[in-house]
Chain A
Amino acid sequence: MLGYGVIRGGSLCRVLAPQRRCLASVSSTSPVNPNSVGPFQVFDRHVKQMQKDRAAARDGGERSRTVDYVRSEIADALAERMQDIKRKFSSVLDLGSGPGHFSKLLDTETAGKVVMLESSKKLLNRDPDDEFEVPVERIHADEENLLQIIPPNSQEAIVSCLSLHWVNDLPGILVQIKEALKPDGVFLGALFGGDTLFELRTSLQLAEVEREGGISPHISPMTDSRDMSNLLGRAGFTLLTVDVDEIKVAYPSMWELLEDLQDMGESNAVVGRRHFIHRDTLVAASAIYKEMHGHEDGSVPATFQVIYVIGWKPAPNQPKPLERGSGETNLKDVLEH
């Protein structure tokens, strides 16, 4: 999704601290071939996995735990939606689970066990089993290849809490999720929407234009709530529910936001991104951020827009909407009384 790629190589690191490893995470050994056939590659998955691994390893996982606040909040909201489903699932698959923000909230009344699937091994194993209420199984694999790991028609419920915004082929993963579900299985998802971090996006763009005379991608492209309902419908889900929520977090300045994003493993991983931001541009962006979006008390806000989706795999015994025009009660009468 988010954030700044990297500050490296520029005068800052080399000059001021020649021996220190700076905020660098450039190298990618995975070849992303722009001429390859298949889904368009927006994100470098290999870089993303490295960023997550590093984030989870920093200070023995402490830094990563400190910045759980956004994900925990959203996992909580998603868990509430799950509890509205009056059903006990024998097993729930948590796709792109991270350390299990969502899985930790499952109780024994909802799920018999939880299977966490995550591409970053360090993040997957960050938290011990005893923090979970239900038995946990961990699979280290890339969620983009879901059907190669999970057999079709095998899952009662699949949940994805804030991982889909790094998937290259969103329509494809939704189809895979639907295939992996049993008939009448449910998919619950939460993903970052298009307004996420718009403050940082605009500040960096303005700073780059004014300082350097051009812009480059620092914040990923993100999906829209309308797109989500279309995509879910196209993937073959029924009884769709899509809603949007916003979380605003206040930071002392842009710098703390950048640091936290990095600790979340949410640094920039767009293919073809610039691998550094010039020091002047960063400094300029921080000033613009504060002046354009800042609060009166001197802090700056960061918006996280979240799209929550629920979709069901069709089954013959599932309730279906009635035929159009078959209603017998006038809604007006109900609402007026």
Chain B
Amino acid sequence: MKPTATTATTPLRRLALHSTKTCAAPASAYGKCILATYMDVQKDTCKAEFEKFGACVREAVSKLQRPVNAGDIIP
């Protein structure tokens, strides 16, 4: 139950930090979209919301440490 460190050291910790703290607003928007449709969720129901959220996380993650191969990190 350690709190998320402000300077995350491992890739997973960085992902955790940015998906919860840095990108809290788009994360919440995405969650609300799922919450509104969770009885009938299908693939890409909340695609638009996730694209914003995903872009925010990707940007935040890549700011801290440049990936070895930038082509790999953007799916």
Give Cα A18 to B69, complex, Å: 11
Give Cα A256 to B34, complex, Å: 22
3 closest Cβ pairs, A-B complex: A291-B31, A213-B43, A255-B16
B69 partner residues in chain A, CB cutoff 8 A = 15
In the complex, the answer to whether A292 meets B54 with C-beta atoms within 8 Å is no
B45 partner residues in chain A, CB cutoff 8 A = 210
Closest Cβ neighbor of A290 among chain B residues: B31
Most buried by A among B4, B12, B14, B44: B12
- Is there a chain B Cβ closer than 8 Å to A226's Cβ? no
Report the minimal beta-carbon distance from B29 to chain A, rounded to whole angstroms.
9
Majority secondary structure of chain B interface residues (helix, strand, loop or mixed): helix
Interface residues of A in 275-298 (CB under 8 A from B): 279-280, 282-284, 286-288, 290-292
- Is there a chain B Cβ closer than 8 Å to A231's Cβ? no
Known: A210-B45, A252-B4, A292-B31. 5 other contacts (CB 8 A): A15-B69, A210-B43, A256-B16, A284-B50, A290-B31
B32 partner residues in chain A, CB cutoff 8 A = 291
Closest Cβ neighbor of A249 among chain B residues: B1
Report the minimal beta-carbon distance from B72 to chain A, rounded to whole angstroms.
5
In the complex, the answer to whether B31 meets A251 with C-beta atoms within 8 Å is no
In the complex, the answer to whether B42 meets A209 with C-beta atoms within 8 Å is yes
Interface size on B, residues (CB 8 A): 39
In the complex, the answer to whether B53 meets A12 with C-beta atoms within 8 Å is no
Interface residues of B in 28-45 (CB under 8 A from A): 28, 30-32, 34-35, 38, 41-45
A287 partner residues in chain B, CB cutoff 8 A = 19, 27-28, 30-31, 34, 53
Give Cα A279 to B35, complex, Å: 21
Digitize B1-15: 1 where CB-to-A-CB distance is under 8 Å, 0 elsewhere: 111100000111111
In the complex, the answer to whether A284 meets B30 with C-beta atoms within 8 Å is yes
Closest Cβ neighbor of B66 among chain A residues: A16
Give Cα A255 to B17, complex, Å: 9
Give Cα A12 to B12, complex, Å: 8
Interface residues of A in 23-48 (CB under 8 A from B): 23
In the complex, the answer to whether B16 meets A291 with C-beta atoms within 8 Å is no
Report the minimal beta-carbon distance from B56 to chain A, rounded to whole angstroms.
10
Most buried by A among B20, B27, B44: B20
Give Cα A13 to B13, complex, Å: 12
